[in-house]
Amino acid sequence: MALKTFIEAIRETLADEMRRDPSVIVLGEDVGKKGGVFLATDGLWAEFGDDRVIDTPLTESLIVGASIGASMNGLRPVAEIQFADFIFPAFNQILSEAARMRYRSNNGFGVPMTIRAPYGGGVHGALYHSQSVEAFFAHIPGLKIVIPSTPYDAKGLLRSSIRDDDPVLFFEHKKMYRSVRGDVPDTDYVVPLGRASVTREGSQVTVIAYGLMAHYALEAADVVSDEGISVEVVDLRTLRPLDRETVLHSVRKTGKCLVVYEDNRFGGYGAEVAAMVSEEAFDYLDGPVTRLAGPEVPGVPYNHALEDWFMINPEKIADAIRRLAAY
């Protein structure tokens, strides 16, 4: 067991899986000698060489398309998209090919590939380096969507993703790379896909979140606890498949549900969670299922004050908890 940052957990998992399985390769923009824009692949090229750590052109459709072909021919690619904001040129490859290959081949072919992409704001990255894009992909059957919030989960979930026989999108909140630390075992453990984690037990309000928002939800829960409000926090960890059982069990216990996500509110991932809770736990609710999300503007502003206005933070979550608890 050792204390690791989020990015260290990612980097070590990639190296461990490449040592364990020679079919695992890494490809993307600047992932080789440079080690990636965030240094997530730092040191991999020196150990594994050009054949397994492949620098690509600045062409996301090529990165994903080549990964699909490689995965159908015996390899397990881990493709890095430098920023999630740039993933859209590869959207057709992900939607029309990777997600549908098993279905359209009558289970004849799988696509065992992982796409890693840093997402999220709060880092002064402005419009093209701050987007939350998970809702676009969670809509698509055939994809698995993973968003860890701790170094422990990052390592266990990335292992599970690489070893999975179907395509996985693995989103990493860039603000957590070096700001979040936690104990990580040295053992070859996995965290199964599709299982949420109750990170704080409570009795009055359930807060459902993922990624950076899972940390902010815990901070907000600590604040309102001093005011006598008992909050249960559920960290989804995997958005698809969604752990319906854990979410519904928590909401049926507390009777109130707040869903927190960083993306725009309209059509965001939290809308699906809210709909599920409303449909399947209605008789247990003591208040409206509530969403707290980003404002309806096209992107995260560059200006610090406006960026703070856009971003969800612990104070905003605490205020939403108070309002829902008082309903």
Per-residue pLDDT of the chain (327 residues; tens, 9 = 90+): 899 999 999 999 999 999 999 999 999 999 999 999 999 999 999 999 999 999 999 999 999 999 999 999 999 999 999 999 999 999 999 999 999 999 999 999 999 999 999 999 999 999 999 999 999 999 999 999 999 999 999 999 999 999 999 999 999 999 999 999 999 999 999 999 999 999 999 999 999 999 999 999 999 999 999 999 999 999 999 999 999 999 999 999 999 999 999 999 999 999 999 999 999 999 999 999 999 999 999 999 999 999 999 999 999 999 999 999 999
- Gap between the Cα atoms of 52 and 37, Å rounded: 18
Enumerate the domain spans of the chain. Answer: 2-184, 197-325
- Gap between the Cα atoms of 209 and 176, Å rounded: 15
Q: Which residues of 91-123 are buried (b: 16+ CB within 10 A; e: fewer)?
A: bebbbebbbbbbeeeeeeeebbbbbbbbbbbbb
pLDDT of residue 1: 87
* β-bridge partners, 80: 28, 116
Query: Which residues lie below 8 Å from residue 57, measured CB to CB, with a gap of 6+?
Result: 29
Active site annotation includes 129: yes
pLDDT of residue 119: 98
- Gap between the Cα atoms of 163 and 145, Å rounded: 14
CATH numeric code, 2-184: 3.40.50.970
Residue 284 burial (10 A CB sphere; 0-12, 13-18, 19+): middle
Per the residue annotation, which of 124, 129, 139, 304 is the catalytic one?
129
The listed CATH number (3.40.50.920, 3.40.1160.10, 3.40.462.10, 3.40.50.2300) that belongs to domain 197-325? 3.40.50.920
3-class SS shares of the chain: helix, strand, coil, % to 5: 40, 20, 40
- Gap between the Cα atoms of 190 and 182, Å rounded: 16
Same fold across 2-184 and 197-325: yes
- Residue 161 contacts residue 191 (beta carbons within 8 Å): no
**Which tokens in the block code for residue 190?**
């996995």
Count of Cβ atoms closer than 10 Å to residue 270 Cβ: 25
- Gap between the Cα atoms of 30 and 36, Å rounded: 5
Q: Which residue has the tokens 């021919």?
A: 73
pLDDT of residue 180: 97
